[in-house]
C-alpha cells in the first residue's frame, strides 16, 4: 500500500499536492456534530462515550474526505485524570478546581495513575483505527504542559494567562513541579494513544505566545523536547507535530530545539516568512486564517493559493492557523479542499 500522504510529508517529502486536515474539524459548525452532541447530553459525556466520540471524529472524514482524522477529546481531560475537578459551563467553557500551591501540586495523582480515567479515550482510538478509511491518518493529541497548566492554575481559560504567570513569578519551583507532573502524564497519555492505534501525535501549546525569553525556553521548548524524546524512545519512528501558537520568532529553530517532525503555524505569521524561516528545518503545517471558513468567496481562494504556493518547495501539510469556528460554513470547507487539491 502506498504510504499515507501525511506520513510522507512528515518524513520530509515534498508532495505536488499538500495533504490536508483541519483543527477542530469535528465540531459545532457541522449539523451532524450538533445532533450527536445533543444525543450525548453534555460535552464531557461526548468525550467519554467512545462510540459517540468516534462518530464525531468520523463525520468530517465522511463529509469532506480529509487526509487525516484527529481524535475527538479535550486537552483538559488529563487534568481530571490527575485529580482535578472538571466541568463545562454552557456557553462559557471549561471550569476546573484550581491548583495554586506546592501542596496542591504535590497532591495530584502520579502520571501512571491517569489511565483508568482516560480509558474511554483509548477505546475511541481503537474504534477509529478499525473504522477509518485505509488512506486516512489517525492523529492523537494532548495539550502541551504550559497551556494545560494555565487552565489548572486559573480554573478556567483567561485572556492573558495571568494567574499562571503570577504563580510562575511568585513560586517558580512549584510551577516547575506542575509542569513536570504534566509532562510525565502527557508522555504516558500520548504513548498509550500510540499503543492503541494513533499514527501521529500532536502537542497543542495554544498559549505559548504569552511566554517570553527564558520562560519560552523553560516552559514551551523544554517540556516539548522531553515529551518528544521520550515518545520517540518508546515508539521509534513516531511522527510528532508541535504547535506553539503565536510563538512568532519562537517558531524559528523550534523543530531543531524540540525534535518535532513538523511545526504547526498560526496565521499571525505570513506563509512566505514561515517558508523562509521555519520550513527550512522540515515539515510545516498551516496556516490559512480560520475566518475564511466564515466569509468564503474569491478572497478565500486567493489566500488558499497563497499558502499552497508559499510552501510548495518544502514539506507541507495544509491546515488552518487555528481551529475552525462554530459559525463557519461547511460549503467553504468543501471549497477549501477543492482549491488545495487543484480546483
Active site residues: 24, 28, 37, 74, 151
Instruction: Specify the residue for cell string 523550534.
Output: 254
Judge contact between 29 and 328, C-beta under 8 A. yes
**Residue 20: other Cβ atoms inside 10 A:** 26
HSE of 266, CA atoms in CB hemisphere, 13 A: 18
Judge contact between 174 and 234, C-beta under 8 A. no
Look at residues 142, 146, 72, 153 and name the one whose alpha carbon lies nearest to residue 114. Answer: 142
| Runs of H (alpha helix) within 196-316 | 213-216, 222-234, 254-258, 271-277, 292-295, 297-310
Name every residue whose Cβ is closer than 8 Å to that of residue 309 and which is 6 or more positions away in sequence.
Answer: none
Could you tell me whether strands 68-70 and 200-205 are parallel, antiparallel, or unpaired per DSSP bridges?
unpaired
Distances from the Cα of 25 to the Cαs of 22, 35, 40, 61, 216, in angstroms? 5, 15, 18, 9, 29
Look at residues 97, 78, 72 and name the one whose alpha carbon lies nearest to residue 87. Answer: 97
- Distance CA(286)–CA(306), nearest Å, equals 12
Amino acid at each position: 500500500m502506498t504510504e499515507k500522504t501525511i506520513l510522507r510529508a512528515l518524513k520530509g517529502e515534498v508532495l505536488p499536492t499538500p495533504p490536508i486536515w483541519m483543527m477542530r474539524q469535528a465540531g459545532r459548525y457541522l449539523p451532524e456534530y450538533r445532533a450527536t452532541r445533543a444525543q450525548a447530553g453534555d460535552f464531557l459525556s461526548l468525550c467519554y462515550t467512545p462510540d459517540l466520540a468516534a462518530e464525531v471524529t468520523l463525520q468530517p472524514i465522511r463529509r469532506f474526505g480529509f487526509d487525516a482524522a484527529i481524535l475527538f477529546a479535550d486537552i483538559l481531560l488529563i487534568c481530571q485524570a490527575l485529580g482535578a475537578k472538571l466541568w463545562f459551563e454552557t456557553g462559557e467553557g471549561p471550569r476546573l478546581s484550581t491548583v495554586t500551591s506546592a501542596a496542591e501540586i504535590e497532591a495530584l495523582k502520579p502520571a501512571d495513575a491517569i489511565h483508568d480515567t482516560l480509558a474511554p479515550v483509548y477505546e475511541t482510538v481503537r474504534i477509529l483505527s478499525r473504522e477509518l478509511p485505509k488512506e486516512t491518518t489517525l492523529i492523537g493529541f494532548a495539550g502541551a504542559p504550559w497551556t494545560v497548566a494555565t487552565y489548572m492554575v486559573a480554573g478556567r481559560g483567561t485572556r492573558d494567562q495571568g494567574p499562571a504567570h503570577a504563580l510562575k513569578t511568585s513560586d517558580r519551583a512549584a510551577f516547575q513541579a506542575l509542569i513536570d507532573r504534566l509532562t510525565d502524564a502527557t508522555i504516558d497519555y500520548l504513548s498509550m494513544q500510540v499503543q492503541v492505534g494513533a499514527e501521529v501525535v500532536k502537542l497543542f501549546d495554544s498559549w505559548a505566545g504569552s511566554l517570553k525569553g527564558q520562560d519560552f525556553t523553560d516552559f514551551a521548548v523544554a517540556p516539548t523536547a522531553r515529551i518528544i524524546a521520550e515518545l520517540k524512545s518508546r515508539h521509534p519512528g513516531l511522527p510528532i507535530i508541535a504547535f506553539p501558537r503565536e510563538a512568532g520568532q519562537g517558531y524559528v529553530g523550534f523543530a531543531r530545539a524540540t525534535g518535532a517532525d513538523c511545526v504547526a503555524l498560526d496565521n499571525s505569521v505570513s506563509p512566505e516568512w514561515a517558508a523562509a524561516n521555519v520550513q527550512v528545518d522540515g515539515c510545516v503545517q498551516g496556516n490559512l486564517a480560520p475566518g475564511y471558513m466564515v466569509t468564503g468567496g474569491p478572497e478565500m481562494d486567493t489566500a488558499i493559493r497563497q499558502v499552497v504556493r508559499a510552501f510548495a518547495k518544502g514539506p507541507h501539510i495544509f491546515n488552518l492557523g487555528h481551529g475552525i469556528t462554530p459559525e463557519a460554513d461547511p460549503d467553504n470547507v468543501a471549497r477549501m479542499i477543492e482549491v488545495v487539491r487543484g480546483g
